[in-house]
Amino acid sequence: MWPFKKKVLPQDSTPKPFETIICIPGTWNSWDEFILSMVDATNGEYIAAGGILMNVKKQRHYSIEFCEFDNNMKKAFRYAGMVTRVTESFLDEIETHKHVIYISGPTGNLEDAGYIAFATEAILKTGGLGVKIETAGKAFEKNKWVRMLENFEESNLYEMFVIDSIVDQSGSVYSCGMQNLGYKDTIVIGEEFQQAVSLISIFGYYQIVDKPTILNGQTFSKDTESPRFRITEEFNQPNKGDKIFENPLGMWRLIKD
């Protein structure tokens, strides 16, 4: 379903706040081979032509870029796969890739994030080896990505598109990638690392599952027995100025009340 640095043909004219970019190295020998395998592997549900990947049934279009072998791909997957604990055998497999596909497309909401997740799976069926979410810095082994879509729920999108354990120079812990789902990222200040990661994760799932209206100045707690945290706008994002990682929707700061 989805794109990279080219213009997209959107489903409608509604402005989209963000574009998700996904990297998929694979075993394809040529672009023509990929095109044919896409039709065959998806029974015609997806077709690729002229820099566009299309879900025929859903009438959704994505930009697609077919690139040569990348010497840095194994290293990139090793780094991005630290959180998901990719195996050494998987990284060795990544090193055998012949070409790399980048797809990208407008997201910024749960529905569109779900569609691009399934489009990624379609590419994996044709010979893709693994998945790296460029707009989060998170990588997955092929089988793990597929498993998360087998019994798909919206809450799975958090694990797929968000990393919540990044530490800045001051020791604050923050998330990256919530823009893929249409939410602000979160930074936690003054808490022990594991506690901060747990708080960010629960706060993230809470937004996806319960879909609350969150306002500046409200408080949040993991449960009735846990400390309350004040929610405020964080205007100085750690990724500020980074076109790939900065969240255009903003960032929440959680600090013990």
In tens, the pLDDT along 123-157 reads 999 999 999 999 999 999 999 999 999 989 999 99
The helix/strand/coil state of 76 is helix
Residue 151 pLDDT: 87
Residue 100 pLDDT: 98
More confidently predicted of 14 and 6:
14
Terminal-residue alpha carbon distance, the chain: 43
Q: How confident is the model at residue 15 (pLDDT cuts 50, 70, 90)?
A: very low
Each residue's pLDDT tens digit, 30-49: 999 999 999 999 999 999 99
Residue 224 pLDDT: 87
Residue 56 pLDDT: 94
More confidently predicted of 10 and 229:
229
Residue 7 pLDDT: 30
Structure tokens at 27: 């075993």
Q: What is the largest CA-CA distance in the chain?
A: 59
Reference 62, options 134, 123, 18, 1; nearest CA is: 1
Task: Say which residues have a Cβ less than 8 Å from residue 51's Cβ, sequence separation at least 6.
Answer: 6, 63, 64, 65
The helix/strand/coil state of 185 is strand
Is 1 part of a structural domain of the chain? Answer: no
* Residues 106 and 218 placed together within one structural domain of the fold: no
* Residues 149 and 43 placed together within one structural domain of the fold: yes
* Residues 27 and 84 placed together within one structural domain of the fold: yes
44 φ/ψ sector (left φ>0, alpha ψ -120 to 50, else beta) = left
209-231 in b/e burial notation, b at 16+ Cβ within 10 A?
eeeeeeeeeeebebeeeeeebeb
**Number of structural domains in the chain:** 2
pLDDT(240) > 50: yes
pLDDT(13) > 70: no
Structure tokens at 123: 């590419």
Average pLDDT over residues 176-191: 97
Is 205 part of a structural domain of the chain? Answer: yes
* Residues 188 and 74 placed together within one structural domain of the fold: no
Give the integer Cα–Cα distance in Å for 112 and 103.
Answer: 13
Residue 18 pLDDT: 85
Residue 51 pLDDT: 95
Mean pLDDT over each residue of the chain, to the nearest integer: 92
* Residues 28 and 66 placed together within one structural domain of the fold: yes
pLDDT(12) > 70: no
Domain that holds residue 213: 164-256
Give the integer Cα–Cα distance in Å for 105 and 4.
Answer: 7
Give the integer Cα–Cα distance in Å for 175 and 150.
Answer: 26
More confidently predicted of 15 and 140:
140
Residue 4 pLDDT: 27
Residue 17 pLDDT: 56
Task: Strand 173-176: give its sheet, edge to edge.
Answer: 163-167, 173-176, 185-188, 251-256, 229-233, 219-220
- Residue that finishes a domain, picked among 115, 130, 156: 156
Average pLDDT over residues 73-77: 98
**Beta-strand pair 163-167/138-141:** unpaired
CB 55, CB 115: distance < 8 Å: yes
Reference 166, options 187, 141, 181; nearest CA is: 187
* Residues 225 and 106 placed together within one structural domain of the fold: no
* Residues 183 and 99 placed together within one structural domain of the fold: no
Predicted TM-score (pTM) above 0.85? yes
Residue 85 pLDDT: 97
Average pLDDT over residues 83-97: 98
